[in-house]
Amino acid sequence: MGGVTSSIAAKFAFFPPNPPSYTVIAEDSAGDKLYIPEVARRDDVDVLKLKTRRGNEIVAVHVKHPRASSTLLYSHGNAADLGQMFELFVELSARLRVNLMGYDYSGYGQSTGKLTYLRLAKELVFNFDALTACSFDIYSICCNHPVFLKQPTEYNTYADIDAAYKCLKEKYGVKDEQLILYGQSVGSGPTVDLASRIPTLRGVVLHSPILSGLRVLYPVKRTYWFDIYKNIDKIGMVNCPVLVIHGTSDEVVDLSHGKNLWELCNEKYEPLWISGGGHCNLELYPEFIKHLKKFVQTLGKSKPSASSSKKNGVESESQKKPSEAGGSDTLELATELPEISRNSLDSRLDKSKKPIKPEKSRMSTDRVDRFRRRKGLVW
């Protein structure tokens, strides 16, 4: 049961654009200077290739702002790549006055790590060790066998964001106190994972986040070892202000995911529930950039003590309505071991003063493929 459910969750999680929307070309024979010919060349943008601890080489872009005092590390959703995100990255850097690094996950865009289903089948059929391991420990084979190390997986994305973080520290001299992590949809997984391991971050933004991969499919009330991106169990280890943005009409990741995560945050910042917003269009709402800019500016000021921010802080503003629409603010865009099964933090959510309507079961296992073809699931 566990192996089947984990496989279904993984099938929902990763949809790299095929073919990729961009290429990477070296400007000279030495290959020191890289650029993406499909987008406008800019002096303030670096195109990089970064090596991860799991052996993949991922592509990243770094957008510089002349007056930046902070850096945003952006983890995108599951059905986009850098070519599609580039314009948004440049726009966010300019509007928020931040440096911004975006990266592609292993197996996305021009990052290495692509694995076709045909090749995967051949590897398993002709590799007796893989088949034996698969019979006894489906989780270990999926996480650590060489067949799976070079494709989009949960643990590859953790290695990917670590490589981007290391680059920011070593190449650009970014301090943890200057760093804001931004995770969109499935990108909330690597974002929360990294944030839970860095105690002095400036802030975190969760854009249409997920409680966990399995909870997108089923309204489960505990965390199972075969689940992926267990944000619900990690968000309590994040010790910096967290902004949650979610659309009220999101049909892919229910609004309850964003609200529940916000309830579990240690340092809550006024959330933004965008009325009528879907899963992939929140950037088009005027209140999106206004609220995000307000958050970044607030982080730039002196940070309150942990005790006062938990008791008073910006949490007191959580019931305010989102900013009214304003046309000028609209973005115009063209060693991993399985965890044992345990009770999760869902019980804390059940005791909330304002109970949130449980999310509906998304899909039964026998309808997954038909649903994906019809719906084009993106998260």
Tell me: the pLDDT tens digits for 36-89?
999 999 999 999 999 999 999 999 999 999 999 999 999 999 999 999 999 999
CB 72 within 8 A of CB 100: yes
Residue 317 lies in a domain: no
Task: Indicate which residue of 162, 193, 233, 250 is catalytic.
Answer: 250
CB 81 within 8 A of CB 104: yes
Residue 360 lies in a domain: no
- Integer Cα distance of 114 and 55 in angstroms: 13
- Which residues in the chain show pLDDT less than 50? 1-2, 116-150, 304-327, 334-344, 352-377
Q: What is the pLDDT of residue 358?
A: 42
- Half-sphere exposure of residue 146, counting CA atoms within 13 Å on the CB side? 3
Read off the pLDDT of residues 351-362 as tens digits, 9 standing for 90 and up: 544 444 444 433
Specify whether 254 is catalytic.
no
Q: What is the pLDDT of residue 328?
A: 53
State the pairing for strand pair 241-247/272-274: parallel
Instruction: Measure the CA angle with vertex 290, ends 232 and 254; round to 5°.
Output: 30
Specify whether 246 is catalytic.
no
Cα dihedral: 116, 120, 126, 129 (round 10):
150
State the pairing for strand pair 99-103/203-207: unpaired
Task: Indicate which residue of 65, 257, 279, 291 is catalytic.
Answer: 279
- Integer Cα distance of 17 and 183 in angstroms: 19
Number of Cβ within 10 Å of residue 340's Cβ equals 8
Note the pTM of the prediction, 2 decimals.
0.76
Residue 15 lies in a domain: yes
Q: What is the pLDDT of residue 76?
A: 97
Task: Indicate which residue of 70, 93, 185, 212 is catalytic.
Answer: 185
Residue 248 lies in a domain: yes
Q: What is the pLDDT of residue 357?
A: 42
Q: b/e string for 43-73 if b means 16 or more Cβ within 10 A?
A: eebbbbbbebebebebbbbbbbbeebebbbb
Q: Could you tell me the two tokens for 138?
A: 């489906």
Question: How far is it between the farthest Cα atoms of the chain?
Answer: 63
Q: What is the pLDDT of residue 365?
A: 38
- Integer Cα distance of 304 and 22 in angstroms: 43
Residue 179 lies in a domain: yes
Specify whether 233 is catalytic.
no
Residue 250 lies in a domain: yes
Q: Could you tell me the two tokens for 55?
A: 């052996």
- CATH number where 258 lies: 3.40.50.1820
Domain span at 18: 5-298
Residue 104 lies in a domain: yes
Angle of the 117-126 helix axis to the 128-136 helix axis, nearest 10 = 90
Distance, CA of 38 to chain centre: 24
Number of domains in the chain: 1
